[in-house]
Amino acid sequence: MIRAHVAALLAYVDKLDPSRAPATQEAALERLDAWADVLLDVAPRAPHPEGHDWDASHVVRRHIASSPYPIKPSDVSRPWYAFRADVIRRHAGTFEPGLHPEIDPDAAPGRAYFAALRGSLQAVAAGEQPAVTSRAIGPAALAPETPQQAYQREELVRRMKAGHRAGRDENARRLALVSQFPDLLAAMHRLPGHRMWRGSVGGNARAAAIVAEAEARAASTTREEQPV
C-alpha cells in the first residue's frame, strides 16, 4: 500500500473503533509511519481466482468485530501473506500470449519471454493481476442409467459375489482336505508364501500337486473303507 492507502485504512479503523483513535496529531503520524512500514507490500484489494477477493478494509472490520484487542498492522499483513500464498499456489505460471502481444509465442524463449513470466508472477503476487489457473479435464457427463443397464450391473455384482463365495468354499474344502494329512500340510507350509496357507492354490503348481496328492489319498482311503 502507498501511504495514502494506509491513511485511508486508518481512518476507517478510527471510524469503527473511535475510542482507540490517537489523541494527538503526533501520535496519529507515528501510527501512520508504523502501519505504512508494515503494510508496504500489502495490496489494498486483490482478485482471487475463485472469487474470494482480498480487501484490507474487510480484514479490519472482521478484526474489530471479533477481537477484544486493538488492531495492529500485523493483523492485516499476516492474512495478506496467507492470501497471496494461496493465489500463487493456484497460479499456473504459464505464458499467456494475450497479455503480451509484443512477444511472438512461436519464437524460441528469450529474455523477453522469461521477463514476461517473472513480471506476471510478480503482478499476481502483488494483487495487480488475477491468477491464471489451469482447468482440469473432467469426465463427460454420464447419461442416466437405463433399466437394462441397471439389470446388467446388478447381475454382474451378483455373479461376482457368487464367484467369491464359491472360491471361499473351495479354499475351505482344500484346507480341510490337506489338513487330514500332517505331512502334506507341513509340505504346503514350507512353500514360499504359504506359511499361513488358507486353501488357495492359484497358479502355484507345487501347491496344486500337494492338493492333488491329498485328494488321491482321500479317495484311496474311501475305497479301502468300502465293504467288499
Q: 125 is in which domain, residue-wise?
A: 93-134
Domain count, the chain: 3
Select from 134, 159, 190 the last residue of a domain. 134
Of 14-23, 51-60, 104-113, the range with the lowest mean pLDDT is 104-113
Q: Please determine, for residue 136, whether its predicted confidence score (pLDDT) is greater than 50.
A: no
Residue 141 lies in a domain: no
Residue 143 lies in a domain: no
Residues 84 and 120 in one domain: no
The rounded percent of the chain whose pLDDT value lies above 90 is 49
> What is the per-residue burial (b if ≥16 Cβ within 10 Å, else e) of 79-93?
bbeebbebbeeebee
| C-alpha–C-alpha distance, residues 80 and 165, integer Å | 59
Residues 81 and 101 in one domain: no
| C-alpha–C-alpha distance, residues 185 and 179, integer Å | 6
Residue 140 lies in a domain: no
Residue 139 lies in a domain: no
Residues 69 and 105 in one domain: no
Residues 54 and 83 in one domain: yes
Residues 117 and 164 in one domain: no
Summarize pLDDT for 94-106 with one digit per residue, the tens. Answer: 666 666 677 766 6
Residue 166 lies in a domain: yes
Select from 134, 157, 192 the last residue of a domain. 134
Give the count of alpha carbons within 13 A of 184, CB side only.
22
Q: What are the cell numbers at 181?
A: 494329512
Select from 103, 134, 165 the last residue of a domain. 134
Summarize pLDDT for 163-172 with one digit per residue, the tens. Answer: 889 989 999 9
Residues 77 and 155 in one domain: no
Confidence of residue 77 (pLDDT cuts 50, 70, 90): very high
**Can you tell me the mean pLDDT for 220-224?**
76
Residues 7 and 84 in one domain: yes
**Global confidence as pTM:** 0.48
Residues 98 and 83 in one domain: no
Residues 11 and 80 in one domain: yes
More confident residue, 102 or 38: 38
| C-alpha–C-alpha distance, residues 38 and 77, integer Å | 7
